[in-house]
Structure 1
Amino acid sequence: MALYPLKFTPILKERLWGGTKLKDVLRKPIESDITGESWELSGVRGDISEVSNGVFSGTSLQALINERAEELLGKSVVERFGKDFPILIKFIDAKQDLSIQLHPNDELAKKRHDSFGKTEMWYVMDADPGAKLIVGFNKDVEKEEYVESLENDTLLDLMNYEEVTEGDTFFINTGKIHAIGAGVLLAEIQQTSDVTYRVFDFNRRDKNGNLRELHTDLAMDAIDYSKKDDFKVNYSNKQDAVNEMVDCPYFKTNFLELNDNLDQDVSERDSFTIYMCVGGEAEITNDWGSVSIKKGETLLVAAESKSIHIDTKGAKLLEVTI
């Protein structure tokens, strides 16, 4: 059976810091007032996405991969990742600041957690006035100075703050300390991993009055203590064109702002294509079917597709491949 463009049922996650923008802005089917994450496309064990449209409705992403790996993922992707879906796609709403955290690289994550590392990127969809991200240190820091800041509750004095608006994009490589600030709604593209080292949580307590677990010792050898200005993504925004944002070993992301239709020959891509709609709406057609998406929705186009046609009069899309 042909692999038409696939949509998936969001996996919704309540978080201590979550809010209502996933419901109010992205129209997710949510009743809670503290939903922080919508996992749009996931191969994480225990949180496998399920198809929500067409004849494959109810079928898990993993079941499709197990049966039709090369058709869905692409031969080169299967050779590299086997039958593990290599990318996790999310929308995140931070009503409060997220914890200050970092992620280990592939080597450490494999050794400690039998997992991939977690390289990620953020595209800001909405930000309250003055909303900020924490990305890296504001100076080169010695490990001893970092430890002292944790002991003295002065870590925030070492952090680099970035005020953000819609369209701002950040690349967060492994080891970089970071946090999403209150008032930010963003799209996140990352390696398939849920390994996070939390190092500071603003001394908050959960609904049971408990402090959340910190991973101070694990983080110590995973942190990049140097100040680097390598995180802000400067990308062109030529309309009705494919604008490269990020090209790293784990994913490639392009930005498309379309006021006219777009045809793409993807016969040489040898990778699946993901579209996250971050504005407007569009109808996306491959060789075997057509599916509409609107702001806050995501779909997957199989690697065996030879062409992709996008019909729109005002969509903003993130296009993700391997």
Structure 2
Amino acid sequence: MKNISYPLKFNPILKDKIWGGQKLKSLLNKDSNLPNVGESWEISDVEGDTSIVSNGNLKGQTLKQLLDEYKADLIGEKNYNIFGNKFPLLIKFIDAKQDLSIQLHPNDELAAKRHNSFGKTEMWYVMQADDDSNLIVGFNQDMTPEKYLKHLEDKTLTEILNFDKVKTGDTYFIEVGRVHAIGAGVMLAEIQQTSDITYRVYDWGRVDDNGNERELHNDLAIDAFDFDMPENFRVQYQKEKNKSNDMVSCPYFTTNYLHITEPILKTNTKDSFFIYLCVEGEALIETETTSEFIKQGETVLLPAAIETYKITSTNAKLLEVYV
């Protein structure tokens, strides 16, 4: 059996989007001929978009093949008992040259019933933001289904949405049922459940090259809203150097912030895989048998079978993710 105890890299899956831009190519060095690269799917087990290993002795294998063969050695005993041969997370970088549609995601129960899918709890870490760029998260006032539907009908939805100006490092936790959108000029990292289910409720009157508007999902969306959510979506976190700082912890994933300026030794006590997204700088990840370099815009998966490893850098910022 081939060795899985090394840091795995995958070929990015790049997505052309009507709202996409050039930053994933120019800032994160993603190689693509697509005109408007909106998303780079870094690690994916979404049907039809399964990641393929790009390094080491498992190069060319799909994430699905790895799960079939290595099971708990890849994702951990506890995770394998819950998810089986389905990788639980989808990791992306996103570049919005234009505003994304106003949207929300269903919870696990609705998504399973309607789409045979997980729900889509997610979080955002802003990697770069143009001056005066925004994220839309939640409403700017108390909301009821009746009030929301009236604004939707009157085409005044933007009057009741909450616009937040953002800068590098700003972090948001987007629970299912919360309305949201990435604004023009924002490039971010997104960590989410493995799901591609989005309910689009407003798209700025935008049309494609053929003059067609994109489909809206208002009939489905109204049941997916949670109008009573508290305003707890802005994530406050410490930035102490050379340690894992808590950012987001929920039933679906935990994400920590690491600013590394000297070598740190890590021990996996979580019975889980670990994912590292490099959001700034570059770092070296070393296991007992091998090492892998990671730079801004790259992502690496450490299988659960790896017990100890070292991360070395003089100045790197990483997001550390596990389940």
Partner of 1:139: 141
Whole-Å Cα distance in 1 between the matches of residues 126 and 265 of structure 2? 26
Picking from 79, 101, 104, the partner of 1:102 is 104
1:315 partner letter: A
Whole-Å Cα distance in 2 between the matches of residues 147 and 309 of structure 1? 53
Contact 1:101 1:199 in 2 (8 A): yes
Query: What is the CA distance between 1:122 and its match in structure 2?
Result: 0.1
State the 4+ residue runs in structure 1 displaced beyond 4 angstroms. Answer: none
Partner of 1:301: 302
Picking from 176, 179, 201, the partner of 1:177 is 179
2:282 partner letter: E
Contact 2:3 2:57 in 1 (8 A): no
2:291 partner letter: S
2:134 partner letter: K
Whole-Å Cα distance in 1 between the matches of residues 263 and 62 of structure 2? 31
1:213 partner letter: E
Whole-Å Cα distance in 1 between the matches of residues 288 and 196 of structure 2? 34
Picking from 85, 90, 93, the partner of 2:92 is 90
Q: Structure 1, residues 190-209: CA drift from partner, whole Å, max 9, x if none? A: 00000000000001001211
Contact 1:171 1:233 in 2 (8 A): yes
Whole-Å Cα distance in 1 between the matches of residues 63 and 141 of structure 2? 43
Whole-Å Cα distance in 2 between the matches of residues 177 and 154 of structure 1? 15
1:116 partner letter: F
Contact 2:283 2:313 in 1 (8 A): yes
Partner of 1:240: 242
Partner of 1:224: 226
The 10-residue stretch of structure 1 (5-14 or 281-290) with the greater mean CA deviation from structure 2:
281-290
1:182 partner letter: A
Partner of 2:275: 274
Q: Which segments of 5 or more consecutive residues in structure 1 lack a partner in the other structure? A: none
Contact 1:137 1:227 in 2 (8 A): no
Picking from 201, 208, 211, the partner of 2:210 is 208
SS of corresponding position for 1:276? strand
Q: TM-score, normalised by structure 2?
A: 0.98
Whole-Å Cα distance in 1 between the matches of residues 229 and 82 of structure 2? 32
Contact 1:136 1:228 in 2 (8 A): no
Picking from 110, 119, 122, the partner of 1:120 is 122
Partner of 1:111: 113
1:119 partner letter: T
Whole-Å Cα distance in 1 between the matches of residues 289 and 220 of structure 2? 47
Whole-Å Cα distance in 2 between the matches of residues 244 and 196 of structure 1? 28
Q: Structure 1, residues 196-253: CA drift from partner, whole Å, max 9, x if none? A: 0000000100121100000000000111223631100000000111101011000000
SS of corresponding position for 1:111? helix
1:124 partner letter: V
Whole-Å Cα distance in 2 between the matches of residues 253 and 144 of structure 1? 36
Whole-Å Cα distance in 2 between the matches of residues 50 and 8 of structure 1? 5
SS of corresponding position for 1:203? coil
Question: What is the number of residues matched between the two proteins?
Answer: 321
Partner of 2:286: 285
SS of corresponding position for 1:205? coil
Partner of 2:159: 157
Partner of 2:74: 72
Whole-Å Cα distance in 2 between the matches of residues 286 and 105 of structure 1? 37
Q: TM-score, normalised by structure 1?
A: 0.98
Picking from 27, 34, 37, the partner of 1:35 is 37
Q: Structure 1, residues 11-45: CA drift from partner, whole Å, max 9, x if none? A: 00000000000001000002233110000000001
Q: Which segments of 5 or more consecutive residues in structure 2 lack a partner in the other structure? A: none
2:270 partner letter: R
Partner of 1:317: 318
Partner of 1:129: 131
Contact 1:124 1:168 in 2 (8 A): yes
Whole-Å Cα distance in 2 between the matches of residues 153 and 308 of structure 1? 54
